[in-house]
Each structure stands twice: as C-alpha cells, then as structure tokens.
C-alpha cells in the first residue's frame, strides 16, 4: 500500500466500473492507482456473500470487456454466484497485475491526483427502505 501517492488518476472502487476505469487509464499511459475499501477486488461481490447471492444477467453481459480477463476464463454457469464472481475478480487482479489499494477515512492518508474517479457503484452503501401501509418509501423521495 502506497501512502500519499502523486499520480495522474486515482480510481475509487474495485468493482466492475472501477477495474475498467483503472484498466483504460493505465492502457492510455496514465499513472493510476485504485483505492478499494473492501479486502479485495469485486465491489459488491466482496460484500454480498449471503446464500443464494448471484447475478440476474447472463454471462457474458456480466463480465469485463477486457480480453485479458476472459480469454483464459471459463464460467461454470451462465448465472454465477458470488463465490464464482469473487474468483473471477481474483483472476482479473492476477492477469491485469493491478495490485491492491485500500483507503480508510479514519487513517488520514491522502492521495494527490490530477484526475479523481469515483466508481463506487450504486450498491456501495446498503439502503433498507422503510415500509408505510402498503408502499415503500424510496431513497430521495
């Protein structure tokens, strides 16, 4: 883990969006790091590991469009569960040679970057809606 890096771009989030942004920036010559609050890549698939957790979209819709991540990868099913998605992200980390970056707001580390990309995803924060007499109050309502 690097403390106070000076980089062109800092990508926050290690899910599909963050990994793809990191990849494209690196491919285009930017000195880029990625920070992830979880213990590894995978975004929501590192957090959501309850029985039955899996994708609702068929593969290949639910994989990165980066040749290095799919040319040597075979899915066991068209609708993988969280365990297989975690294994896929481990594979992506290995073939893309991403390294691991972590940030915790409590430890006072900072990063200086020319570009700051937040790719935390829509599911980065859990939201449990309140129910009121037959309808659900949605966030922002």
Q: CATH classification of 6-136, choosing from 3.30.70.141, 3.50.50.60, 1.10.10.1100, 3.40.50.10280?
A: 3.50.50.60
Sequence spans of domains, the chain = 6-136
Q: How many whole angstroms separate alpha carbon 117 and alpha carbon 77?
A: 32
Q: How many whole angstroms separate alpha carbon 7 and alpha carbon 137?
A: 42
pLDDT at 16 over 70: yes
- Polymer length of the chain: 141
pTM of the model: 0.64
pLDDT at 135 over 70: no
Give the pLDDT mean for 108-131: 61
pLDDT category at 40 given cuts 50, 70, 90 is confident
Count helices and strands in the chain by DSSP H and E runs: 4, 5
């Amino acid at each position: 883990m690097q403390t106070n890096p000076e980089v062109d771009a800092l990508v926050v989030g290690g899910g599909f969006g963050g990994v793809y942004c990191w990849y494209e920036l690196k491919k285009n010559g930017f000195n880029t790091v990625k920070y992830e609050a979880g213990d590894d890549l995978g975004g929501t698939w590192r957090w959501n590991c309850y029985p039955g957790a899996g994708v609702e979209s068929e593969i290949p819709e639910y994989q990165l469009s980066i040749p290095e991540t799919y040319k040597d990868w075979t899915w066991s099913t068209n609708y993988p569960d969280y365990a297989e998605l975690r294994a896929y992200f481990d594979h992506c980390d290995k073939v893309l040679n991403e390294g691991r970056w972590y940030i915790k707001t409590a430890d006072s580390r900072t990063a200086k970057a020319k570009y700051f990309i937040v790719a935390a995803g829509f599911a980065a924060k859990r939201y449990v809606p309140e129910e009121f007499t037959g309808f659900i109050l949605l966030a922002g309502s």
